[in-house]
């Protein structure tokens, strides 16, 4: 079953028939063909399989996780694929990443959502753990969903990542987080995450070494 679903997920990806001056990949989600411009000089400018897993989940579980008119923030949005799919599914999306990635992120968001979405998504800078209250004040920022795909990898900012999850998450916020397991240090982050949040596995793909989690603040999952 794992291999069948993974094959279906990967069939959502397509490539240009002709070589163009800009490298891009295509994806089919939410009834649209999505073209994502990539770069190979940094982690954040490439579409990783965790993003496809999360997009597939959002599309195929759109009744249970109805995004219409919901406030969604994606952290570590990278190329913007997850944010684009959430927007096409009716969400009011804020796509965030580091300043050096925002130009490509804005391009992909605009190219794939203009005149196609109920709510035009916005792009904002978010450096994990920095100026969180200034840029995303607790009193006025309320997100129904926090989405993250492959944000835990070989980097020294795991403390800041956990702080960012904590700051953005209200009592009723749902976190949807797709994670590829790689190294022990990164894998240990799951245990630290569970000190603040209840965690539930909602999909597991052993052939990709990817797990999709749902999380809420401790004590809120059943409520």
User: Hey, how many other C-beta atoms are within 10 angstroms of the C-beta on 78?
Assistant: 28
The predicted-structure confidence for 35-75, as pLDDT tens digits, reads as follows: 999 876 565 678 989 999 999 999 999 999 999 999 999 99
Specify the long-range contacts of residues 37-41, CB closer than 8 Å, at least 24 apart: 37/79, 37/104, 37/107, 37/108, 37/111, 38/79, 39/104
pLDDT surpassing 80 at residue 23: no
The predicted-structure confidence for 162-208, as pLDDT tens digits, reads as follows: 999 999 999 999 999 999 987 776 778 899 999 999 999 999 999 99
Is the overall model pTM greater than 0.85, yes or no?
Answer: yes
Q: Residue 98: give its domain's CATH number.
A: 3.40.50.150
Q: Report how far residue 180's alpha carbon sits from residue 150's, in angstroms, rounded to the nearest whole number.
A: 6
Specify the number of domains making up the chain: 1
Highest-pLDDT range among 11-20, 146-155, 180-189, 193-202:
193-202
Q: Report how far residue 97's alpha carbon sits from residue 82's, in angstroms, rounded to the nearest whole number.
A: 13
pLDDT score at 85: 98
Roughly how many angstroms between the first and final C-alpha of the chain, as a whole number? Answer: 31
Residue 223 lies in a domain: no
Q: Report how far residue 198's alpha carbon sits from residue 191's, in angstroms, rounded to the nearest whole number.
A: 11
Residue 222 lies in a domain: no
pLDDT surpassing 70 at residue 110: yes
Alpha-carbon dihedral angle through residues 141, 63, 190, 182, given to the nearest 10 degrees: -120
Residue 147 lies in a domain: yes
Residue 97 lies in a domain: yes
pLDDT surpassing 60 at residue 223: no
C-alpha 109 chain-centroid distance:
13
Buried b (16+ CB within 10 A) or exposed e, 22-41: eebbebebbeeebbbbeeee
User: Residue 116 sits in which domain range?
Assistant: 1-217
């Amino acid at each position: 079953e794992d291999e069948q679903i993974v094959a279906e997920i990967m069939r959502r990806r397509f490539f240009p028939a002709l070589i163009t001056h800009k490298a891009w990949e295509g994806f089919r989600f939410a009834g649209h063909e999505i073209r994502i411009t990539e770069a190979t000089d940094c982690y954040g400018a490439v579409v990783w399989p965790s993003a496809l897993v999360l997009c597939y989940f959002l599309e195929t579980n759109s009744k249970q996780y109805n995004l219409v008119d919901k406030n969604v923030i994606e952290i570590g949005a990278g190329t913007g694929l997850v944010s684009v799919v959430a927007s096409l599914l009716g969400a009011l999306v804020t796509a965030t990443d580091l300043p050096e990635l925002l130009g490509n992120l804005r391009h992909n968001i605009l190219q794939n959502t203009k005149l196609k979405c109920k709510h035009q998504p916005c792009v904002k800078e978010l450096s994990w753990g920095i100026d969180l209250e200034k840029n995303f004040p607790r009193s006025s920022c309320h997100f129904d969903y926090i989405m993250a795909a492959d944000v835990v990898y070989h980097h020294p900012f795991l403390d800041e990542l956990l702080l960012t999850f904590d700051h953005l998450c209200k009592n009723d916020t749902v976190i949807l987080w797709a994670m590829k397991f790689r190294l022990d240090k990164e894998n240990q982050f799951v245990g630290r995450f569970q000190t603040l949040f209840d965690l539930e596995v909602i999909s597991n793909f052993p052939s990709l070494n990817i797990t999709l989690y749902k999380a809420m603040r401790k004590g809120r999952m059943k409520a």
